[in-house]
């Protein structure tokens, strides 16, 4: 048992996949008493070196973020496929997709999760950094996303 886990345990975000992000934003804004956030569309997967289950993917997503103190609530509407977002929406409908944590060392964090039997499902670049989803549904009931602000090396 490691004495220190490989990623920061400060929660960054909780994300929900949705069928229609505009409608979901309206619903969540009303419940949270917050303004409707801006909706952004991610770059095509091919432009951000996205892989899904080890293969290149050109999928995209519409994203919206509610800042709730130190934690974001992220809404995700998949565009195209294949992606973990589309897979989750097809399998489970609108539901929690992942819980995200920041990491300063994506490679060691990814290795730590793999050693726990939690495989990498999808990854992509985000500006100077990168994101990676790990399928922890069997162990934890949800996927884990790791976020790295400055990409040292692409995780695979």
Q: Mean pLDDT, to the nearest integer, of 51-60?
A: 98
Beta strands in 5-115 (DSSP E): 11-17, 39-41, 51-52, 55-56, 60-68, 71-79, 95-103
Cβ–Cβ < 8 Å for 61, 77? yes
| pTM confidence score | 0.93
- Please choose, from the candidates 155, 147, 148, 143, the residue with its C-alpha nearest in 3D space to the C-alpha of residue 15: 143
| Angle (nearest 5°) at CA 114 between 109 and 112 | 35
Q: Indicate the length of the chain as a whole number.
A: 156
Residue 3's pLDDT is what? 41
Record the tokens describing residue 20, joined without a space: 């229609």
Reported as type and span, the H/E element at residue 90 is helix 84-92
- Please choose, from the candidates 109, 119, 126, 111, the residue with its C-alpha nearest in 3D space to the C-alpha of residue 49: 126
Look up the CATH number of domain 11-148.
3.10.180.10
pLDDT band for position 10 (cuts 50, 70, 90) = confident
Cβ–Cβ < 8 Å for 76, 37? no
Q: pLDDT tens across 65-121, in order?
A: 999 999 999 999 999 999 999 999 999 999 999 999 999 899 999 999 999 999 999
Cβ–Cβ < 8 Å for 77, 83? no
Domain boundaries of the chain, sorted by first residue: 11-148
């Amino acid at each position: 048992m490691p004495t220190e886990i490989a990623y920061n345990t400060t929660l960054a975000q909780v994300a929900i996949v949705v069928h229609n992000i505009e409608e979901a934003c309206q619903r969540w804004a009303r419940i949270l008493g917050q303004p409707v956030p801006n909706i952004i569309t991610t770059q095509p997967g091919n432009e951000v070196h996205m892989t899904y289950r080890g293969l290149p993917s050109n999928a995209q997503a519409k994203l919206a973020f509610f800042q709730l103190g130190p934690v974001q609530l992220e809404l995700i509407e998949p565009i195209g496929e294949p992606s973990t977002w589309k897979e989750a929406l097809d399998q489970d409908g609108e539901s929690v997709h992942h819980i995200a944590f920041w990491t300063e060392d994506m490679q060691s964090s990814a290795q730590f999760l793999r050693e726990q039997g939690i495989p990498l499902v999808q990854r992509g670049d985000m500006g100077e950094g990168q994101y990676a989803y790990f399928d922890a549904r069997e162990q934890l009931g949800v996927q884990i996303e790791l976020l790295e602000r400055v990409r040292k090396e692409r995780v695979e």
